[in-house]
Amino acid sequence: MSRSTTRAARAGSGRAVRPPFRAASAVAAVTAVVVGLGVAPGGTAFASSAPPAPTPVTRAALDPSLVAGTGATVGFAEQEAEKAVTDGTVIGPGTAAYTLAAEASGRSAVSLKPGQYVEFTLPAAADAINVRYSIPDAPNGGGITAPLDVTVNGKGRGTMTLTSQYAWLYNQYPFSNDPNAGLLHPDWWITECSCVPDQTTPAPVITTPFRPNHFYDEQRLLLGRTYEAGDKVRLAVPAGSDASATVIDLMDSQLVAPPRIDLVAADVLAFGADPTGRRDSADAIDRAIAFAERTHLKVYIPPGTYQVNRHIIVDDVTIEGAGSWYTVIKGHQVTLGSPAPDGSVHTGVGFYGKDASVGGSTNVHLSGFAIEGDVRERIDTDQVNGIGGAMSDSTIDGLYIQHTKVGMWFDGPMSNLRITDNVIVDQIADGINFHTGVTDSVVSDNFVRNTGDDALAMWSEKGEDANDTFDHNTVQTPVLANGIAVYGGTDNTVSDNLIADPIREGSGIQVGSRFGSQAFTGHLWITGNTTVRAGTYELNWNIGLGAIWFYALERNISADIEVTGDNFLDNTYDAIMLVTDFPVKDQYSITNVHFKDIKVDGTGTDVVSARTAGSATFQNVVARNVGAVGVNNCGSFHFTAAGSEFSLTDLGGNTGGGTTGPWLAPWELPNTITCDDRPAVVAPPAPSPW
């Protein structure tokens, strides 16, 4: 199937969904310091004689030592604005969806009025920065632009032109760009009124804008020269800015490698490509590809910005750029005269393998360039992804993908694809999705931030994904859904990934029988991953989720699932959840799940929440700073005299707990009913070394 996303059945998106079943994250309050003046969270000033401290380098807004060994190896240093020098106002921390704080890395950021600044101290030599920011939408949608001045050590002023044209979505799935629009689906249950609006008398008043989200965007800037560690990069909002507030979330800094030059290649300039971006270069790139195929050469795209407004079809070809900071393939979204056979009503920039129905593509190798799209709305039938189609025996390495619908979406069957060292940001939907029959493929060392759906997904919708691996990737702030999701399949692995700050209708890691996926068979290994500030609040169900959650909606989950060596840090609600949707709670169960060598540092509520029939084993699961009873066991809500329908097996070594004592107490085993539908939340302290 060639459509991109067909997941209208996402939690809370069905008709008249009844809930089957609020609190702050435990992000430590951060004090921003300016010369001679401190600014506390919320912006209250106080006297201070201490000099400003250097801006710390973080990963997932934590000390890097707390997440060592997980996530992608990246070439940049991340620094949080709320830990920098500023005369602005720190917002957050907060986890409530539809707020700027919740969508910020670390759940906190700095808001600047015109005339205010935030200043970062470079931790290492750098000649480039990337700024994650938010500015307001236009009153009727569509975005605005606003300036941001950049100086280093008070000199070399440059101006970034920020935009909110790719941010600010509203309303119910699949969302609207209109802040004044009424409900897209008045026949759906919404928590705001605990009702189905068009079936309620009197009709509820729904305020607009309804559920604003997807606030942030980011922008890269080459500084023109190399600056040294200790130099001060100041981001300042000039007086007269059209943005009433400019929110700075973080700054990444790096030393960019020199541009790569390939003299023995089919250079697209020789075939008429325009590096200024004024003329469309798609046909010229096609000619270079055709020549390279005849002569067995690579295609080389030198530094420049190349306008491409359609798909470039690739098969048995290598395409290299000079580096993602230098070679930019940038396109407009184009409205088609009539819908394409796959249902698309738009096209746009993208590199696509042939469709699997005609055999797909093989031996495709893409590296060293950026793809910048122009997607501002979510239309699930549109093929406006950065990379698409089917590509077997292929590699994708060192790309930067921004403002497409999905960074990379693959429709199998296909096999042996290697995706490494890419940066994917600011997507309307997923980051990378293996959809239908993708096998023996690897996604490794990629950095994914600010997706509008699952950041990384294996979706076995019509054919199972098998023997695939998601390894050592970093995922930050998926606005909707999960950091990593596995929907069916066999013998797949999710290992050593770092996942931080999921927002809503999902959490850190999901194992789900949903969206028409094939059954889980064989094994699923979830090993060595770290989640940070996951375990989110599920608005549609009005309960908290687990940082890792298993969801049986359409089938039993009964394959051998091994969750080993994972760390769940600063969980807003639960660390682990196993749940079956209430209408099918007597049809499906979750069994054969095994947790071993797990560390849980902080839960707002429980370590384990069971809202299903089934069973799981636990061995060497160590927990601390647990906010509620260790096991919240509701089973399938029949509350029988024989106990819960969900059983826990203690294999030893399960220690620690919190305010209520040991998290896995003997009296809870194997299936004591300890059901508290919505336990009170106790925000845990910030994570610390074990």
- pLDDT score for 93: 97
Q: What is the pLDDT of residue 20?
A: 33
Angle at the Cα of 479 from the Cα atoms of 168 and 604, rounded to 5 degrees: 130
Residue 44 pLDDT > 50, yes or no?
no
Q: What is the pLDDT of residue 38?
A: 32
State if pTM tops 0.85: yes
Which tens digits make up the pLDDT trace of 287-303?
Answer: 999 999 999 999 999 99
* Residue whose tokens read 């930050």: 476
Strands 304-307 and 246-254: unpaired
Q: What pLDDT, in 10s, does the model give residues 176-231?
A: 999 999 999 999 999 999 999 999 999 999 999 999 999 999 999 999 999 999 99
Measure the CA–CA gap between 90 and 42, rounded to whole angstroms. Answer: 5
What mean pLDDT do residues 594-607 have?
98
Average pLDDT of the segment spanning 235-243? 96
- What integer is the mean pLDDT of 431-454? 98
DSSP codes of every residue in 5-48: ---TTSTT-STTPPP-------PPP--EEETTEEE-TTS-EEE-
pLDDT > 50? residue 46: no
In the structure, what pLDDT confidence band is assigned to residue 51 with cuts at 50, 70 and 90?
Answer: low
> CA 313 → CA 20, 302, 353, distances in Å?
46, 19, 6
Predicted local confidence at residue 54, as pLDDT: 85
Average pLDDT, the chain: 92
Looking at residue 40, its pLDDT comes to 33
pLDDT value, residue 52: 66
Residue 126, classed as helix, strand or coil, is: strand
pLDDT band at 373 (very low <50, low <70, confident <90, very high): very high
Does residue 3 surpass a pLDDT of 90?
Answer: no
Residue 273 — very low, low, confident or very high, per pLDDT cuts 50/70/90? very high
Cis check for the bond before 670: say yes or no (omega within 30 of 0): yes
Q: In this predicted structure, what is the pLDDT of residue 53?
A: 74
% of the chain surpassing 70 pLDDT: 92
